Amino acid sequence: MKDLTFGTLIAVFEEIFGRGLFWAMVVAAAGLTVAYLYVLIRDRAISWRKFLVAQLSMPLGAVLGVWFVMVMTNSGLSDIGGPIDVVVLLGVAVGGAIGAAILVYTLQSLFVDMRRIGKE
């Protein structure tokens, strides 16, 4: 792999996750992004209470992200071969943490009526 292009990255991800799962994840990420933007535009402000709860989900998202990649690549922590592997796993963990926070914030905003819980 001499040149790293967008098409090459898609081919690699399709090979790792399988074509169906990869594109399902892309559609899910796009749908979550649209829902998050809808919530931000609709509410016109960040709810700090929801944001705090969303931040509490970040460690779980990081662990689940790393676990998912390890399962899909049939790898384990003992297979880490060098610094770039650690950097990639840290990137996956950060992505999982941010994704979990966005998911939790969006689900709270769409489905939980915070006025019943307490005044914001």
Provide the whole-model pTM.
0.82
pLDDT confidence of residue 2: 74
pLDDT of residue 77: 84
- Concatenated DSSP letters for 14-73? HHHH-HHHHHHHHHHHHHHHHHHHHHHHHHSS--HHHHHHHHHTHHHHHHHHHHHHHHHT
Residue 92's pLDDT is what? 94
Q: What is the structure's pLDDT at 115?
A: 59
64 Cβ neighbours under 8 A, 6+ residues apart: 96, 100
Look at the block and give the residue holding tokens 């071969």: 81
CA distance 109 to 43: 9
Q: What is the pLDDT of residue 113?
A: 66
pLDDT tens, per residue, the chain with 120 residues: 578 899 998 998 899 888 999 999 999 999 999 999 999 999 898 888 999 999 999 999 999 999 999 998 888 888 888 898 899 999 999 999 999 999 999 999 998 765 555 555
